[in-house]
Amino acid sequence: MSFSKLGRRLAWFGCVLIMNGNLADLKAEELVKDPVTGLIKAKNWELVRTHCMVCHSTKGFTQIRLDRKNWQKIIQTMQAQHGLWQLGEAEVKVLDYLEGNYGLPKEAYNPKIRRPL
């Protein structure tokens, strides 16, 4: 390999590293978390704080990933068995928040690849 090819490859690799660092910074900025609750500050996060944190800390539901149907099943189970009140119109907004921020990942799970922290 000539020096010019090696130089181009190193420059390309350096650009990739810089871009990856910038993308990581953008992702970190997009997911601003409330310092008190740890919830991602996105649309309707206050509703989740109001309705869910009456009985729960956020540790439980921020560490799991479920689709909308399963989040709804959990809410219905809490209403039927644990005294959660009817959320009314707020239920759709709570489900939107949970699905959007704590939903299933978009990429498929590969057990040979370590999940991001």
- Residues 63-87 pLDDT 10s: 888 999 999 999 999 999 999 899 9
Identify the CATH assignment for 33-106 out of 1.10.760, 1.10.3470, 1.10.10, 3.30.300. Answer: 1.10.760
Asked if 94 and 75 touch (Cβ cutoff 8 Å), the reply is yes
- Residues 1-49 pLDDT 10s: 555 666 666 566 555 555 555 444 444 446 899 888 889 999 999 999 9
Q: How many helices and strands in the chain, by DSSP H and E?
A: 5, 0
Which amino acid does the sequence have at 15? C
Which amino acid does the sequence have at 109? Y
Per-position DSSP letters for 66-77, written without gaps between them: --HHHHHHHHHH
Which of 103, 48, 51 is closest to 82 using CA atoms? 51
pTM for the full model?
0.65
